[in-house]
Every structure is written in structure tokens, then in C-alpha cells.
Amino acid sequence: MSHLEIVQKLNEFVKNKQLEKIRPLLHKNIKWNQMKGFPNGGEYVGADEIFQHIFKGFNENWTNWETEVKEVIEAEDDILEIGVYKGIYKASGKQIEADFIHRYSIKNGIISHFKQYTDTGLFFAVMKGSKNQAQTNNPLHGVKLADILDFLLEEYGWEGLAYRINIKCFKSNPTKKSSLNFLRKFDWAREEVEQLYLGTINN
């Protein structure tokens, strides 16, 4: 198969939920990078991690999900896809429409690296909901910031948290008290933490 045909096969199997057919297309040590802030964003190595963190449960949280490829660019060992994500987040009932770029690196007939580019802020707005949305539909309703931080620390630890969110209070002599003070002071930082929390619980 050509490089383009390999990527087209991957898209076909994902769309039809034929996930086990994807494995032969992936290098055993493939690096899969989804943007931090995207649901289950981060870097994953190997097919097992990708299946566990990327594919598992994703369709359970979204309805009418579509990855519409509008343009493809072939560049030696790379395939670039340009398109639009579309779908409805079940917890909030809100619809997403966001541009994306996918970069696939292919060696010896299999995909060795994937890199995603998209506007994660649009996803956060959809997953978090809006002020006009009923609180009962808000997945963060009733969840305290301290509890969110405790949950993320149990999942990732300080080092893993600092890797996923580039905030100094997570990197330099981190404590729960100093981190909570920082997050309560800066809305942008709190939103990043809430976004990671939502992505993690929906995994």
C-alpha cells in the first residue's frame, strides 16, 4: 500500500470501529501525540497505550462524531490531513466543530508517529458547558477544585501533572496548598486543570 492508502485504511477502520484491524498498521513503538487539552491528550507509546487512552471510551462520550478530511498533502514519508472535527459531547449536549491537522509519519509501510493540531479551547468550552447551561448537565457541577487536584495527583503524581500542564507550581517544590492558591488566582490555569480532569474521567 502507498502511504496515503495506509492512512485511508486507518481512517476507515476507526470510522467503522474495527479497532483490532488498526494494529497491523502501527509500529510496535509508535508515538501518538494528541494535544494537551484535547480529550485524553498527551503522548502515548505503543499500540496498547493508544487503544487504552485514545480509542477506548471515546465513542461512548461523543455522538455523531465525524472526522471530515478536506485536504491531503503527501510529503515524502509524511501524510498531512486537513479537516474538521464534528460531534456532540454527551455530558453537555453541546456540539463541536473544530479544524484539525493530522501528521502521520510512515516508515517501512507502517505508521511510526502521529501528531495532532487543533483548537483545544473549543473542546474545553463544549465539555465544560456554558453559564446558560443547566448545572445538572455540567460535569464539573458540585466538584471541588481540591478534589480535582487530589484526583489528578493520584492518577499522575506531581511529575506527570507537570508534564501535562506547564505550570510552575507543579514543577518547583509543589505542594497542594500553593497549587490551589495559584489555581484559584488564575482562571486560565484552573481551566487547564479542569480540562485535564474531564479528559481523564472520560477515558
Average pLDDT estimate for 133-159: 79
- Whether the CA torsion 46, 50, 86, 41 is positive or negative: it is negative
What predicted TM-score, i.e. pTM, was given to this entire model? Answer: 0.62
Topology of domain 3-122, CATH: Nuclear Transport Factor 2; Chain: A, (3.10.450)
Whether 62 contacts 73, CB under 8 Å = no
Out of 3.40.50.10540, 1.10.720.30, 3.60.21.10, 1.10.150.20, select the CATH number for domain 143-201. Answer: 1.10.720.30
Residue ranges, comma separated, of all CATH 3.10.450.50 domains in the chain are 3-122
- 50-80 pLDDT tens trace: 888 787 666 677 888 889 999 999 988 999 9
Name the least confident of 53-67, 75-89, 108-122, 161-175. Answer: 53-67
Question: Residue 81 forms beta bridges with which residues?
Answer: 72, 102
Closest CA to 128 of 160, 96, 153: 96
